[in-house]
């Protein structure tokens, strides 16, 4: 999945009108809450076969960190 497709997938999951960018801090995205974090876990499993835990998100600061976490093999 390329960056544009990843951002589009995340935007839909976040139910957000405005586009996301890789260098956005997650903490400044109002839609990034406990529910979207849970949804992101499901996406990680569904699209990337990754079994993540909520605690794994503690290390993520920017959207690109999330991308790395979800896609790293």
Residue 28 CB, shortest distance to other proteins, in Å, is: 16
By CB under 8 A, name the one of 5, 21, 22, 33 that touches other proteins.
Answer: 33
Binding of residue 49 to other proteins (CB under 8 A): no
46 touches 6 (CB < 8 A): no
Q: By C-beta, is 17 or 49 nearer to other proteins?
A: 17
Binding of residue 31 to other proteins (CB under 8 A): yes
Question: Using CA atoms, how far apart are residues 6 and 8, in angstroms rounded to an integer?
Answer: 5
56 touches 69 (CB < 8 A): yes
């Amino acid at each position: 999945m390329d960056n544009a497709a990843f951002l589009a997938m995340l935007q839909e999951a976040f139910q957000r009108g405005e586009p996301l960018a890789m260098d956005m801090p997650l903490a400044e995205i109002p839609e990034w809450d406990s529910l979207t974090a849970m949804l992101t876990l499901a996406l990680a499993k569904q699209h990337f076969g990754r079994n993540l835990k909520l605690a794994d998100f503690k290390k993520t600061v920017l959207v690109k960190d999330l991308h790395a976490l979800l896609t790293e093999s």
